[in-house]
Amino acid sequence: MLASETLHRHHNHSIFKQQVSYDNGEQTEQAPRNAPQVNGNTDSYIVTATIGLAANSAMPALDNGNQIAKTSGLLSINADTPSIGDAEFELTDRMNKHNINTAGIAVNSGANNLIPSHPSASIEQFLRKCVDEIIALAVFKGTSRNSKVVEWHSPEELKSLFDFKLKSKGETHEHLLELLNKTIQFSVKTGHPYFVNQLYSGVDPYALIGQWLTDALNPSVYTYEVAPVFTLMEEEVLAEMRKIVGFPNNGYGDGIFCPGGSIANGYAISCARYHKNPNTKKFGLFYSKRQIIFTSEDAHYSVEKLAMFMGLGADNVCKIKTDNYGKMDIKNLEERLEKCISDGCAPMMVSATSGTTVLGAFDDLNSIARVCEKYDIWMHVDAAWGGGALISPKYRHLLNGIEKADSVTWNPHKMLAASQQCSTFLTRHKNILSQCHSTNASYLFQKDKFYDTTYDTGDKHIQCGRRADVFKFWFMWKAKGTKGLEEHVNQVFKMSEFLTEAIRERSGFELVLDQPECTNVSFWYVPPSLRNMERNEAFSTKLHTIAPKIKENMMKKGSMMVTYQPLHKLPNFFRIVFQNSCLTETDILYLLDEIETLGNKL
C-alpha cells in the first residue's frame, strides 16, 4: 500500500511528463505552472506514491516486520495523474507574493500556525512523517498476527509511561512524534485479526482513506453550499440502502447519517412520538397520554437510555420476554400491549432487533409487523448489527419483514467493517424528519438561496455540525461494489459457522446456542478441574469465575481480546463475533487453542 517518498532537488520530475528545471529560484518555460518553490530558494519537494490494492482486499495482509513499508518520512499517494488536484502539489511561497512577514514565528507556535498560513516546509514534513508512522505502525504492524493486540498497563502504570500532561509551552515535533508512536503502542489494535471483542473490527483500506480525506476537508454536512459533494453522496447511499431494506416504491423515504446506532434509535423514538401525536413538537409530553415503547429484554440498552434522555422515562419502556434463542416473545408483546391500552396509556412504538448484541438473535419481523398494524403503532427495527446480512442473498432471510418497518437503524461500521463511526437511520416516511425536527433557523436555512434548498439537510436532524461519515462508506462501496460487500458478509458468516462446528467437536468447550443465527458465537470454556462436577448451582458459581480470569490472562499477555458476559441466569460465557473477513480457519483454531492454554490450569 505504501510506497516511498521521492525527494527531488534540482532534478527532473517525470511525473509531470515534462522537464522541470530551476535556476536561482526561477522556472524555465518548460516547468509546469505553479511548480513549487520554498522561500525563494531552489529546493523543490515533490511527492510520488503508489497504492496498489485489489478492490476486495482487506487488512491485515502483512504478517512480518520485513513486509512493513518504511519510508524516509513522506507518504506516497498514487501518482498516475500529472498533478494532485487541478494544480501540482505546491509549496509556493504565497506569502512572499503578498508581502506577509512571518519572521520570528516558531514552527509549532500557536500563532499563524494553521495551514496554509505557515511558509515553512517543516509543517509539511511533520505531517508526512506522522502519516508514515501511522501507516507503518498502526495500520500494518498493528494488524500483523505477529504483533500484540494490546500492550496492557494499569491506569497508574500508563500515567507513568505516557506524557498526558498539558503545558503552557508547545512541544517540539520530535516529542510529538514520540507521543504519536506511544499512542499507537499503548492503544488496542482493533484491526488485529485476534481482536474479536466487539461488534467492530478490521481496517478497510478504502474506508481508512475516506476517513482521512474527510478530516482533511473538515466539512460539516448541513447545507449544500458547505458540503455539496457529501450532500449528494448521502442522498445516493441512503437511497440505495433503503432499496436494499425493501421500502416500497423503490426505496422511497428519507434518512440521515448519525453519530452511532444509539442516536439512530433516538431518531426512531422522536419520529414515532411525532407520528403518534404531532402536538408533542410544540407542547412536549404534557398534553398527551403516557406513551410507551415496547422492546425485547435483550434489545440494545440505547432504547432505554434515549427514552430517559428524551423525557419519556425508563418506566415507559416495556421490556418483552425473549425465548431461549433471544427472540422477542410475540404472545407476551400482545399481552403487554393490551394491558398498556387498558391502563389508559398510548402504545407509541415497537423496537424490534435484528441481531442482538449478545446472542445475535433476529426477532420475527413479520409477526411484529402484523402486531404493529393491528394496534396502529410505529415499527422500528434496530438492525445496527445484523443489517449487513441484507447485502447477502444467502442470509437476507434473517431479516424477512424488515421492508414493513417504519424505520431502521443500520450501522455499516459493524458487520460491513467501515471505519467508526458510520451509522444510518432510514425511514419510509419522506418528510417526517423535517416535520418533527425543523426550527427554520434563518441564519442557516434561508429560503432565498440561489440553489435548490431542498438539498439543505441540516434542519431535519438534531445536530447542527455533522461529520461527513458517508464518504468512507461510499468510497469503500465504490471500490468493492455491492458484490464485494456480499462476499465479505458471506465470509464472516462462513467463519462463524466454522467456529461453531469446531466448538462442538472440542473437549471442554460448550455452546450457549446450539445453532447461532448471526456471526456471534457464544460458548463456555470448562477447565479440567470442573468437568467432572455435577451441573448444579455450585458448578455454575465456579464456572462464572472462569471467563473473567481467562480474559485477564489474555489481556496481560496481549495475545487476543474476546469479551464475556452473563445473560439472564446464565453464568459468564465468551462471545466471539465476526466482522473481519480476513480471519481464516487457522486463526479460529488459534483462538480456541489460546483460550485453552490460558484456562486449563484454572
The predicted-structure confidence for 217-228, as pLDDT tens digits, reads as follows 999 887 788 888
User: Does 379 have pLDDT greater than 70?
Assistant: yes
Does 401 reside within a domain? Answer: yes
Q: Looking at 21-25, 235-239, 252-256, 423-427, which range is the least confident one?
A: 21-25
Given a contact cutoff of 8 angstroms between Cβ atoms, the answer to whether 349 and 502 are in contact is: no
- Residue 75's pLDDT band (boundaries 50, 70, 90)? very low
Q: Domain with 336 in it: what CATH number?
A: 3.40.640.10
Angle, CA 574 vertex, CA 571 and CA 579 arms, to 5°: 145
Residue finishing a domain among 100, 115, 147: 147
Report percent pLDDT > 70 for the chain.
79
Same domain, 320 and 365: yes
Same domain, 268 and 312: yes
Q: Domain with 509 in it: what CATH number?
A: 3.90.1150.170
Q: Looking at 130-134, 197-201, 269-273, 449-453, which range is the least confident one?
A: 449-453
Same domain, 493 and 453: no
Across the range 7-18, mean pLDDT stands at 35
Res 440: pLDDT: 76
DSSP string, 116-178: TS---HHHHHHHHHHHHHIIIIIIIGGG-TTS-S-----HHHHHHHS-----SSPPPHHHHHH
Res 581: pLDDT: 93
User: Does 485 have pLDDT greater than 70?
Assistant: yes
Res 31: pLDDT: 38
User: Does 477 have pLDDT greater than 50?
Assistant: yes
Does 316 reside within a domain? Answer: yes
pLDDT tens per residue, range 273-325: 999 988 888 888 877 789 999 999 999 999 999 999 988 999 999 999 999 99
**Burial group, residue 419, by CB count within 10 angstroms (0-12, 13-18, 19+):** buried
Same domain, 494 and 521: yes
Does 403 reside within a domain? Answer: yes
Res 55: pLDDT: 42
User: Does 135 have pLDDT greater than 90?
Assistant: yes
Does 306 reside within a domain? Answer: yes
Q: Looking at 125-134, 276-285, 288-297, 512-521, which range is the least confident one?
A: 276-285
Across the range 124-151, mean pLDDT stands at 93
Same domain, 323 and 421: yes
Residue finishing a domain among 440, 467, 494: 467
Same domain, 96 and 238: no
Same domain, 419 and 485: no
pLDDT tens per residue, range 39-74: 333 333 333 333 334 444 455 444 443 343 333 333
Number of domains in the chain: 3
Which domain covers residue 68, as residue numbers? Answer: 1-147
Strand order in the sheet with 561-567: 195-196, 561-567, 570-577, 520-525, 509-511
pLDDT tens per residue, range 393-409: 999 999 999 999 999 99
Q: Looking at 59-68, 186-195, 405-414, 560-569, which range is the least confident one?
A: 59-68
Res 398: pLDDT: 98
Res 111: pLDDT: 54
- Residue 456's pLDDT band (boundaries 50, 70, 90)? confident
pLDDT tens per residue, range 324-339: 999 999 999 999 999 9
* Alpha carbon 489 to chain centroid, angstroms: 16
Handedness of CA 29, 34, 38, 43 (dihedral sign): negative
Across the range 505-524, mean pLDDT stands at 96
Does 186 reside within a domain? Answer: no
Res 117: pLDDT: 62
Does 114 reside within a domain? Answer: yes
- Residue 428's pLDDT band (boundaries 50, 70, 90)? very high
Given a contact cutoff of 8 angstroms between Cβ atoms, the answer to whether 192 and 147 are in contact is: yes
Does 475 reside within a domain? Answer: no
Check residues 559 and 446 and name the one with the higher pLDDT: 559
Q: How far apart are CA 173 and CA 170, in angstroms?
A: 9
Res 455: pLDDT: 75
User: Does 425 have pLDDT greater than 70?
Assistant: yes
Same domain, 447 and 514: no
Q: Which of 199, 206, 245 is nearest to 481 (CA)?
A: 206
Res 193: pLDDT: 94
- Residue 356's pLDDT band (boundaries 50, 70, 90)? very high
Check residues 136 and 445 and name the one with the higher pLDDT: 136
Same domain, 454 and 529: no
Residue finishing a domain among 113, 147, 181: 147
User: Does 145 have pLDDT greater than 60?
Assistant: yes
Does 168 reside within a domain? Answer: no
Across the range 568-574, mean pLDDT stands at 95
Q: Residue 137 is which amino acid?
A: L
